[in-house]
A and B are shown apart, each in its own frame.
Chain A
Amino acid sequence: MRTILYLIRKEFIQIFRNKFIGRAIFGVPIVQMLILVPAVTFEIREVRIGIIDQDMSTVSRSLITRLEGSAFFRVTNTTFSEEEGNRLLLEDKCNLVLHIPEDFGRDIGSGKPGHLLAAVNAINASAAQLSWAYLNGVIRDFNSELIMQNINSAEPVQSSVININNRYWYNEMLNYKFYMLPGILGILVTAIGFILAGLNLVREKEIGTIEQINVTPVRKHQFIIAKMVPFLIIGLADLTLGLVIGRIFFRIPFEGSIMLLFLSASVFLVAVLGFAIFISTFSGTQQQFMFIAFFCMIIFILMSGIFTPLESMPAWAQKIDLINPVAYIMRINRMVMLKGSALSDILSDIYSLAAIAVFFTVFAVRRYRKTA
Chain B
Amino acid sequence: MHGPTAGYILHDMKRFLGFVKKEFLHISRDYRTLIILFGIPAAQILLFGYVVSTDIKNAGVAFLDQSKDEITRRLTDKICSSGFFTKTGDLASQADIDRIFKKGRTKAVVIFENNFGRNLISRGKGEISIIADGSEPNVATLVTNYMTAIISDFNRDMAGPSAATALIVRPEVRMFYNPGLKSHYMFVPGVITLIMILICALMTSVTITREKEFGTMEVLLVSPLKPVQIILGKVMPYFLLSFIDVIVILLLSWFVFDLPVKGSLALLLGESMLYILMSLSLGILISTVSSTMQQAIFISLVGMMLPTILLSGFIFPIENMAEIYGWISSILPPRYFIVIIKNIMIKGTGLLYVWKETLILTGFTVLFIALSVRNFKIRLQ
Contacts and interface: CB of A to CB of B under 8 A. Distances in A.
Nearest to A163: B127
B311 A39 contact: yes
A139 B39 CA distance: 48
Interface string B125-144: 11111111111111111001
A159 B349 CA distance: 51
Given A294-B36, A311-B60, 14 more contacts: A18-B292, A113-B167, A122-B177, A123-B347, A166-B130, A168-B133, A168-B134, A287-B30, A294-B202, A295-B40, A311-B59, A312-B53, A339-B101, A340-B102
A313 B51 CA distance: 5
Interface in A160-209: 160-172, 174-176, 178-179, 184, 187-188, 191-192, 195-196, 199-200, 203, 207
Given A164-B151, A199-B294, A44 B33 contact: no
SS of B interface (majority): helix
Interface stretch (B62-70, B180-188, B227-235, B366-374): B180-188
Contact of B297 (A171, A179, A286): A286
Nearest to B162: A159
Contact of B33 (A36, A111, A288): A288
B125 A21 contact: no
A286 B206 contact: yes
Given A42-B316, A123-B346, A299-B47, A179 B135 contact: yes
Contact of A309 (B56, B130, B297): B56
Contact of B135 (A44, A142, A200, A338): A338
A233 B60 CA distance: 36
Given A184-B306, A290-B202, A308-B54, A45 B320 contact: yes
Question: How many B residues are at the interface, by size bracket?
Answer: 35 or more
Given A44-B320, A128-B181, A116 B307 contact: no
Interface stretch (A129-137, A212-220, A270-278, A360-368): A129-137
27 contacts: A32-B307, A42-B138, A111-B168, A122-B178, A122-B185, A123-B185, A125-B185, A132-B173, A161-B155, A170-B133, A172-B134, A191-B301, A191-B302, A191-B305, A195-B298, A288-B30, A288-B33, A293-B301, A309-B54, A309-B57, A309-B139, A312-B53, A312-B59, A317-B50, A335-B102, A335-B104, A339-B101
Contact of A187 (B97, B159, B306): B306
Contacts of A36: 306-307, 310-311
A230 to B, nearest CB: 14
A83 interface: no
A281 to B, nearest CB: 14
A202 B54 CA distance: 37
What are the 8 closest A-B residue pairs judged by CB atoms, nearest first? A171-B134, A168-B134, A122-B175, A338-B135, A122-B178, A125-B181, A291-B36, A174-B137
A147 interface: yes
B307 A124 contact: no
B246 interface: no
B301 A169 contact: no
Given A143-B167, A162-B128, A42 B141 contact: yes
Given A125-B185, A132-B173, A162 B151 contact: yes
B328 interface: yes
Contacts of B60: 311
A287 B33 contact: yes
B54 A126 contact: yes
Given A122-B179, A311-B58, A195 B170 contact: no
Given A113-B168, A122-B177, A164-B151, A41 B353 contact: no
B167 to A, nearest CB: 6
B139 to A, nearest CB: 5
B40 to A, nearest CB: 5
Contacts of B127: 162-163, 165
Interface in B42-85: 43-44, 47-48, 50-60
A159 B33 contact: no
Question: How many A residues are at the interface, by size bracket?
Answer: 35 or more
Nearest to B127: A163
Contacts of B139: 309
A203 B321 contact: no
Contacts of A290: 202, 206, 297, 301
B377 interface: no
B154 A162 contact: yes
B159 to A, nearest CB: 5
Interface in A82-123: 89-92, 108, 111, 113-123
Contacts of B44: 298, 302
B251 interface: no
Contact of B172 (A116, A129, A167, A346): A116
B269 to A, nearest CB: 21
B207 interface: yes
B295 interface: yes
B40 A18 contact: no
B291 to A, nearest CB: 8
B159 A158 contact: yes
Given A113-B169, A174-B137, A125 B182 contact: yes
Nearest to A200: B294
Contacts of B135: 170-171, 178-179, 334-335, 338-339
